[in-house]
C-alpha cells in the first residue's frame, strides 16, 4: 500500500497546459502552508471554541486561518469567487466560473482534542471541478498538492493510488455502516477513524488506505482539494451512482461518496450498493 512514482505524461482539462496553473498552484501551496503554521501555533493551547447553528464546532483558530486564506488567496485574483466553511456564503459565487473552495481546519474536532488528523484544505475550482489543490496537515508535516493534468504529490513525491483489486484484506476507513456492508463480501481491515475527511481521501492517493467512505452531507470544502489529489493519483472518488462530484452548486453538499484505487473502486461500489437491510435507514455520517 505504498505510494508509487509515475512519470506518465498527463493532459489538463479543456486542453489546458498544466504549466499555466503552476505559478498559481505554487502560491496556493505556499499560502496553505503559512495558514497551517497559524493553526499549529494555536494547537493544543487554550483557545475559544463554540458551536455553530448546525451543531458543528468552531474555534478561533478556524476563524484566524479563514481570514488569512481569504485575504491572501483573493489577492492573487480578486475576480475569483469564494466558498469557505467559516465565511458567510454569497450567491455571487454562483456566477463565478472560477472560485476558491476552502476549509480552514478540516477535522476541527481532532484539532480540539489534540489529535493529529486535521488539515488546512484549499482548491481552485473551475467549471465545477478542482484544477489546483493544496492540503496541509501541520501536525504530521504533510503537504499534498495537485494540478489538473499534472499529477499529485506529498512533500514533493509523486503519488499513485494502490493497485489492489480484491476486497479481501483491503484497508478501509469511514462510517461503520459502510464497513459493515463491505464485511458481507470480504474480511476487510477496519482502520481507525480519520477525522479529517480530506485526509481520509488523500490517504487513498498515497496507498495507505485502500477504500475511504464519506457519509452523506459532506460539503464542497470538505472534499474539493482531496478530490483532485486522489484523481491525479489515478484513484477514483464518486457517488454510489458512480458520478464524479461537481462543485459550486447552490447547495454545496454531496451524497455519500466512495474513494478507492482504480482496480478496487468498482468492487467496493458494488458492495455498498447492496447494504445490510438493518443499515438501510441509518442517518448520514461523515
User: If we measure between CA atoms, which residue out of 63, 61, 66 comes closest to residue 41?
Assistant: 61
pLDDT tens digits for 2-32? 333 222 333 333 334 555 568 899 999 999 9
Does residue 166 lie in a domain region?
no
The pLDDT, as a whole number, for residue 22 is 83
Does residue 285 lie in a domain region?
no
Q: Are residues 152 and 176 in the same domain?
A: no
The pLDDT, as a whole number, for residue 6 is 28
Q: Are residues 214 and 260 in the same domain?
A: yes
C-alpha cell at 158: 509523486
pLDDT tens digits for 144-167? 999 999 999 999 999 999 999 999
- Domain of 90: which CATH number? 3.30.540.10
Show the DSSP H helices in 7-113 as ranges: 22-42, 60-76, 108-113
pLDDT tens digits for 64-119? 999 999 999 999 999 999 999 999 999 999 999 999 999 999 999 999 999 999 99
Q: Are residues 177 and 221 in the same domain?
A: yes
Of 158, 188, 211, the one marking the end of a domain is: 158
Confidence tier at 280 by pLDDT (50, 70, 90): very low
How many domains does the structure of the chain reveal? 2
Of 106, 133, 158, the one marking the end of a domain is: 158
Q: Are residues 151 and 185 in the same domain?
A: no
* The Cα angle at residue 246 between residues 95 and 178, in degrees rounded to 5: 145
For residue 285, pLDDT beyond 70: no
pLDDT tens digits for 25-63? 999 999 999 999 999 999 999 999 999 877 889 999 999
Q: Are residues 152 and 175 in the same domain?
A: no
User: If we measure between CA atoms, which residue out of 46, 36, 35, 105 comes closest to residue 71?
Assistant: 35
Q: Are residues 121 and 219 in the same domain?
A: no
pLDDT tens digits for 193-251? 899 999 999 999 999 999 999 998 899 999 999 999 999 999 999 999 999 999 999 99
Distance of CA 132 to the CA centre of its chain: 12
Q: Are residues 140 and 58 in the same domain?
A: yes
C-alpha cell at 120: 488546512
Give residue 189's domain range. Answer: 171-279
The pLDDT, as a whole number, for residue 11 is 35
Q: Are residues 193 and 135 in the same domain?
A: no
Q: Are residues 118 and 226 in the same domain?
A: no
pLDDT tens digits for 168-194? 999 999 999 889 888 888 999 999 989
Q: Are residues 112 and 45 in the same domain?
A: yes
Does residue 50 lie in a domain region?
yes
Amino acid at each position: 500500500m505504498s505510494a508509487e512514482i509515475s512519470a506518465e505524461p498527463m493532459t489538463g482539462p479543456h486542453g489546458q497546459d498544466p504549466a499555466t496553473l503552476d505559478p498559481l498552484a505554487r502560491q496556493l501551496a505556499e499560502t496553505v502552508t503559512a495558514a497551517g503554521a497559524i493553526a499549529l501555533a494555536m494547537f493544543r493551547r487554550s483557545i475559544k471554541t463554540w458551536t455553530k447553528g448546525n451543531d458543528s464546532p468552531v474555534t478561533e483558530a478556524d476563524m484566524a486561518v479563514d481570514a488569512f486564506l481569504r485575504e491572501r488567496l483573493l489577492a492573487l485574483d480578486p475576480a475569483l469567487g469564494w466558498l469557505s466553511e467559516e465565511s458567510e456564503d454569497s450567491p455571487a459565487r454562483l456566477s463565478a466560473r472560477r472560485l476558491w473552495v476552502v476549509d480552514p481546519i478540516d477535522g476541527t474536532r481532532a484539532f480540539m482534542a489534540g489529535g493529529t488528523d486535521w488539515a488546512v484544505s484549499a482548491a481552485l475550482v473551475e467549471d465545477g471541478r478542482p484544477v489546483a489543490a493544496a492540503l496541509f496537515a501541520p501536525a504530521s508535516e504533510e503537504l499534498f498538492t495537485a494540478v489538473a493534468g499534472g499529477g499529485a504529490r506529498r512533500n514533493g513525491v509523486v503519488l499513485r493510488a494502490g493497485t489492489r483489486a480484491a476486497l479481501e484484506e483491503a484497508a478501509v476507513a469511514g462510517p461503520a455502516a459502510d464497513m459493515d456492508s463491505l464485511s458481507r463480501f470480504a474480511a476487510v481491515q477496519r482502520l481507525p477513524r480519520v477525522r479529517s475527511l480530506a485526509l481520509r481521501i488523500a490517504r487513498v492517493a498515497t496507498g495507505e488506505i485502500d477504500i475511504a467512505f464519506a457519509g452523506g452531507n459532506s460539503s464542497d470544502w470538505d472534499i474539493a482539494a482531496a478530490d483532485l489529489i486522489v484523481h491525479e493519483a489515478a484513484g477514483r472518488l464518486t457517488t454510489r451512482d458512480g458520478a464524479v462530484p461537481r462543485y459550486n452548486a447552490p447547495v454545496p453538499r454531496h451524497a455519500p461518496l466512495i474513494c478507492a484505487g482504480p482496480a478496487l473502486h468498482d468492487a467496493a461500489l458494488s458492495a455498498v450498493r447492496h447494504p445490510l437491510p438493518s443499515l438501510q435507514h441509518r442517518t448520514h455520517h461523515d
